[in-house]
Amino acid sequence: MHKVGKALITGVSGSGGSYLAEHIVRNHPEVEVHGISRWHSTSSSDNLADVSGKVTMHECDLTDFSAVFTVLKRVQPDTIFHIASHANVRASFINPLAVLQNNIMGTANLFEAVRLVGIDPAIQLCSTSEVYGQVLPHEVPITEQQPIRASSPYAVSKVAQDLLGQTYFRSYAMKVVRTRMFAYLNPRRADLFATSFARQVALIEAGQQKELLHGNLDSVRTLIDVRDAMEAYWLAVVHGEPGEVYNIGGATTLSVGDFLALLKKHAHAPIPSRVDPALLRPSDVTLQIPDVSRFLKATGWKPRYSFDESVAFLLEHWRRQVQRNGTTGSRA
């Protein structure tokens, strides 16, 4: 069991990193929390409004090795949560080289800086179910032994991160725990299908948009609440075995179309919808159902939020944003 005293979160102002910071501050107040955020980040600083003053921020671009080295030397963390990433799958087909450069070299710089500064932190490396690519019906639920079949430039970058974590564990005994997160409901990340749908529902309810636009509705996903996902990251670094990889995911499985139908049912107004060809990916991953038994055995983790609670959390977030701003909201 790893004891966390001083934690550093990369990508702390992003959608996942900010929820992780909130989880640590609220549930582990004895931990000193530091965060890395790019000086030119597109993430919203509002994401950290609820923990303002309780997270020490460091401006740092992970693709700048000197900046990463300087932050690690100054902070000397005993725990690192590596969350930072260009994570928009569809956008990675448009800007593949930028995504590859950012995600791969940012991770390589982080690991090299850890090694050269001479610290020995436990590191949670945030990988993704996208590394499995398109699986066949007989291959679900997906275990950690499932072959890697990346289907997008983003997925390729995450495979590289995943393998870097494995390599630095084997070569330098770096205490890296890899987590492969399946789909989650995250109100602050607007590029996720569920968040995009909820945002558009709120706008239509407010009379600011006429119809909801969507891409492929046939993909099947198993969903988890982002707050449960961030608690899982914490448990992974505390109880996970260095060098190992763990699937993390929820228990509710449905198609993207079924999720849209559910939101329409909960909407306060009729929600017309149609496919937007611009939202279709050149290559899509359509079947993602995880086997998380390995992670449950290692950590004893159990989700705290029901699926209904997660959907309500998502919708209410965007209704508040639209009401507050009269626009698409700021905390995405």
Report pLDDT digits (tens) over 203-217: 999 999 999 999 999
pLDDT at 199: 98
> Would residue 244 count as lying in a domain?
yes
**What mean pLDDT do residues 125-141 have?**
96
Domain membership of residue 293 (yes or no) is no
Q: What is the pLDDT of residues 74-122, one digit of tens each?
A: 999 999 999 999 999 999 999 999 999 999 999 999 999 999 999 999 9
Classify residue 295: in a domain, yes or no: no
Segment 129-147 mean pLDDT: 96
If asked whether residues 121 and 154 sit together in one domain, one would say yes
Query: Residue 294 falls within a domain, yes or no?
Result: no
Let me know if residue 166 belongs to a domain: yes
Which pLDDT score, from 0 to 100, does residue 329 have?
A: 43
Same domain for 124 and 175?
yes
**Per-residue pLDDT, 332:** 38
| 151 and 13 fall within a common domain | yes
Does the global pTM surpass 0.75? Answer: yes
Which domain does 240 fall in, by range?
6-182+225-248
Condensed to tens digits (0 to 9), the pLDDT of residues 203-262 reads 999 999 999 999 999 999 999 999 999 999 999 999 999 999 999 999 999 999 999 999
Q: What HEC string does the chain produce?
A: CCCCCEEEEECCCCHHHHHHHHHHHHHCCCCEEEEEECCCCCCCHHHHHHHCCCCEEEECCCCCHHHHHHHHHHHCCCEEEECCCCCCHHHHHHCHHHHHHHHHHHHHHHHHHHHHHCCCCEEEEEEEHHHHCCCCHHHCCECCCCCCCCCCHHHHHHHHHHHHHHHHHHHHCCEEEEEEECCEECCCCCCCHHHHHHHHHHHHHCCCCCCEEECCCCCEEEEEEHHHHHHHHHHHHHHCCCCCEEEECCCEEEEHHHHHHHHHHHCCCCCCEEECHHHCCCCCCCEECECCHHHHHHHCCCCCCCHHHHHHHHHHHHHHHHHHHCCCCCCC
